Amino acid sequence: MSEVERHSYDVVVIGAGGAGLRAAIEARARGLRTAVVCKSLFGKAHTVMAEGGIAASMGNVNSQDGWKVHFRDTMRGGKFLNNWRMAELHAKEAPDRVWELESWGALFDRTADGRISQRNFGGHEYPRLAHVGDRTGLELIRTLQQRIVALQQEDEREFGDPEARLRVFQECTITRLLTVPDAGSEAGNRIAGAFGYWRESGRFTVFDAPAVVLATGGIGKGFKVTSNSWEYTGDGQALALLAGAPLINMEFVQFHPTGMVWPPSVKGILVTESVRGDGGVLLNSEGERFMFDYIPDVFKEKYARTKEEGDRWYTDQENNRRPPELLPRDEVARAINSEVKAGRGSPHGGVFLTVVDRMAGGTEEIRRKLPSMYHQFKELADVDITAEAMEVGPTCHYVMGGIAVDPDTAATPGVLGLYAAGEVAGGMHGSNRLGGNSLSDLLVFGRRAGEHAARYAEEIGEARREAAQEQLDAAEAEALAPFAVESAENPYTVHQELQQTMNDLVGIIRREGEMAEALTRLDELKARAAKAGVEGHRQYNPGWHLALDLRNMLLVCECVARSALERRESRGGHTRDDYPAMSAEWRRVVLACSIVDPDAQTLSVRLTRSEAVPMRADLLELFERDELTKYLTDAELPGKDG
């Protein structure tokens, strides 16, 4: 192996979105030497793109809100498949995480009496999303970055070096986790660090560390129409798999109901749910508010049955039920899909979303509440949303499945010293995430991951070891392989075909035959990706970067397709045309994916089933028995007269 740059830390956090930064702040606050490594520029992460807000039951706008209501909404949104302990911790701790942000300098929008304002969002019973216009993620990242700078200033004063205990490495892609054998762990190994390359120079680098926190976000780039940007190639999920940590519930992919559908160059870009939270309605080509026809039985009692009641709810939530445009995302996405299929779509294959005449303050209020949406449509589609309807349709947005983690510590069960938080981790959101619950998830579990990674690194102390040279050599050889192949495949072509396959065959509505065909195509694409070659040198070579990302996308997409084929029911983000009903038996099943042989030439995924841990009795008591019967098996229901 060539001479390689080496860094040594106690905790290495991979990913600089909300989860990664919150984890890094926690590890450093505990006095440990911490590195943050990110693939893109520091500050450029999905978190920054989050628009609507952070869900936390502070009760500022409706004092009836509290953690129990938030917990219930989250479980209902996820159709009871959620890891209930994560949902409980999340609901309890989210308000503290928002207060903490404020104490670190975040400037949230205010209520008339000066408290942090909270807005309505799909699936949340009360106004719950703390927000900054429609640019909440930007404020969240700005605040966390500011906190990092404050900690670095402390270190400057104490050690004369601002990066003594917290350093950010940007534009560095990690391609492998490094491990050492450990008989005490499930997978037989523990973390020793991470291997990656600098995107600009193409040079390799090694981070030696006993604890790694994965916070790399989503997988959207495996699909053709997506709100995700270029970094989201499932890297963290694949890194965990390759190190021996399983992924769970990968069949649950969220298709956000409202992405732009026109012009083609911006297809998939997100149209925030706050448009509907602030009064926007969905119309078909016949001008009908069609969502009233799509309220599923499980939600019938909670949603308005007439337009009048739905409209009254915006000003009087005590005496009216919410409009069905605010159903959980999976329901709205399926409804739009059905309208388009029935020939009632908009000219470019979506439906209409309008805020015109829907806000008392007219044009001015629209521009104040939805500044980014106003500019997005004006600049990208030449549509003035204060005067015209938007055209929108489903877009692949978020993955509910992810790395299996312990709910309290964020530790992965497979590999000692490996932690995961944020979108890359699975369990919290069950089969469907509620809007706003991601930003709060990042802060709650980012903090927990940072804390427990730091504790582990402290405990391991002198027993920490570096990875064997052969592992570094293998990681380098793997990364250089695209320069060595003859009669090369074009990585861009393989990527396009992968995206088309996932969109067409494992998309919003799924069928057995199509998913089986997807798996055959994925096998072929795997063989072609192994021959994906690039020309030129290693200095900023995007073709090479994509060739390396293909391994991750193919692995993760195989997990999605295999799990989706296996789960014979429809629930949340997983809709089977051939199994349209939700099954109480299947709710108890956790599907886990692991790699058969991480050192094999061709990697393949193994699927196993395990049983979900039954919900604690005191949490079950938060629901009416009638509601529980819609989700749980008879055996799981609390006592007959309970």
Regarding 120 and contact with ligand FAD (CB under 6 A), the answer is no
Beta strands in 469-599 (DSSP E): 589-595
Regarding 249 and contact with ligand FAD (CB under 6 A), the answer is no
- Of 95, 123, 137, 323, the one binding ligand FAD by CB under 6 A: 137
- Of 438, 499, 501, 575, the one binding ligand FAD by CB under 6 A: 438
Q: How far is the CB of 38 from ligand FAD (least distance, A)?
A: 4
- Of 10, 15, 139, 489, the one binding ligand FAD by CB under 6 A: 15
* Side-chain-facing half-sphere of 91: CA atoms under 13 Å: 22
d(CA 9, CA 33): 5
State the residue number with the nearest CB to ligand FAD. Answer: 17
Q: How far is the CB of 171 from ligand FAD (least distance, A)?
A: 9
Regarding 23 and contact with ligand FAD (CB under 6 A), the answer is no
Q: If you count them, how many residues does the chain have?
A: 642
Nearer to ligand FAD, 228 or 284 (CB): 228
Nearer to ligand FAD, 428 or 632 (CB): 428
Regarding 234 and contact with ligand FAD (CB under 6 A), the answer is no
- Of 118, 216, 471, 499, the one binding ligand FAD by CB under 6 A: 216
Three-class SS state of 299: helix
Q: How far is the CB of 364 from ligand FAD (least distance, A)?
A: 23
- DSSP state string for 170-196: -SEEEEEEEEEE-TTSTTSEEEEEEEE
* Binding characters for ligand FAD, 396-435, by CB under 6 A (x = yes): --x-----------------------xxx----------x
Q: How far is the CB of 544 from ligand FAD (least distance, A)?
A: 14
Q: How far is the CB of 196 from ligand FAD (least distance, A)?
A: 6
Q: How far is the CB of 41 from ligand FAD (least distance, A)?
A: 8
Of 12-20, 27-35, 471-479, 598-606, the segment contacting ligand FAD by CB under 6 A is 12-20
Q: How far is the CB of 186 from ligand FAD (least distance, A)?
A: 24
Tell which phi-psi region holds residue 379, choosing left (phi > 0), alpha (psi between -120 and 50) or beta. Answer: alpha
Nearer to ligand FAD, 439 or 595 (CB): 439
Beta strands in 490-564 (DSSP E): none
- Of 257, 259, 280, 436, the one binding ligand FAD by CB under 6 A: 436
- Of 28, 39, 551, 567, the one binding ligand FAD by CB under 6 A: 39
Give the C-alpha distances (Å, rounded to integers) separating 233 from 15, 85, 495, 553.
13, 28, 11, 5
Nearer to ligand FAD, 49 or 515 (CB): 49
Q: Are 244 and 188 in contact (CB under 8 A)?
A: yes
With 0-12 CB in 10 A as exposed, 13-18 as middle and 19+ as buried, what is 580? exposed
Regarding 215 and contact with ligand FAD (CB under 6 A), the answer is yes
With 0-12 CB in 10 A as exposed, 13-18 as middle and 19+ as buried, what is 337? buried
Nearer to ligand FAD, 277 or 519 (CB): 277
- Of 46, 76, 128, 224, the one binding ligand FAD by CB under 6 A: 46
369-398 binders of ligand FAD (CB under 6 A): 398
d(CA 10, CA 561): 37
Residue at 235: amino acid letter: D
Regarding 19 and contact with ligand FAD (CB under 6 A), the answer is yes
Residues 415, 420, 423: CA angle, nearest 5 degrees: 140
* Binding characters for ligand FAD, 47-66, by CB under 6 A (x = yes): x-xxxxx-------------
Q: Which residues pair with 177 in a beta bridge?
A: 194
Regarding 253 and contact with ligand FAD (CB under 6 A), the answer is no
- Of 8, 40, 285, 320, the one binding ligand FAD by CB under 6 A: 40
Residue closest to 276 by CA, chosen among 228, 316, 328, 225: 328
258-297 binders of ligand FAD (CB under 6 A): 270
Regarding 174 and contact with ligand FAD (CB under 6 A), the answer is yes
Greatest CA span in the chain, whole angstroms? 72
- DSSP state string for 425-456: B-STTTTSPPTTHHHHHHHHHHHHHHHHHHHH
Of 1-9, 41-49, 199-207, 334-342, the segment contacting ligand FAD by CB under 6 A is 41-49
The total of other beta-carbon atoms located within 10 Å of residue 367's CB is 15
Residue closest to 443 by CA, chosen among 457, 428, 430: 428
Read off the tokens for 68.
């129990």
For tokens 């042989």, what's the residue? 597
Residue 277 has φ and ψ, to the nearest 5°, of: -60, -30
Q: How far is the CB of 194 from ligand FAD (least distance, A)?
A: 8
Size of the site for ligand FAD (CB under 6 A): 41
d(CA 525, CA 558): 11
Of 11-19, 27-35, 86-94, 461-469, the segment contacting ligand FAD by CB under 6 A is 11-19
- Of 27, 45, 555, 593, the one binding ligand FAD by CB under 6 A: 45
**Residue 198 DSSP symbol:** E
d(CA 345, CA 4): 56
Q: Which residues pair with 197 in a beta bridge?
A: 173, 204
- Of 11, 13, 17, 182, the one binding ligand FAD by CB under 6 A: 17
The set of catalytic residues is 305, 329
Regarding 14 and contact with ligand FAD (CB under 6 A), the answer is yes
Instruction: For the chain, give percent helix, strand, coil, nearest 5.
Output: 40, 15, 40
Gap between the terminal Cα atoms of the chain: 66
Positions that interact with ligand FAD (CB under 6 A): 14-20, 37-40, 45-47, 49-53, 136-137, 173-174, 215-217, 227-228, 231, 235, 270, 398, 422-424, 435-439, 442
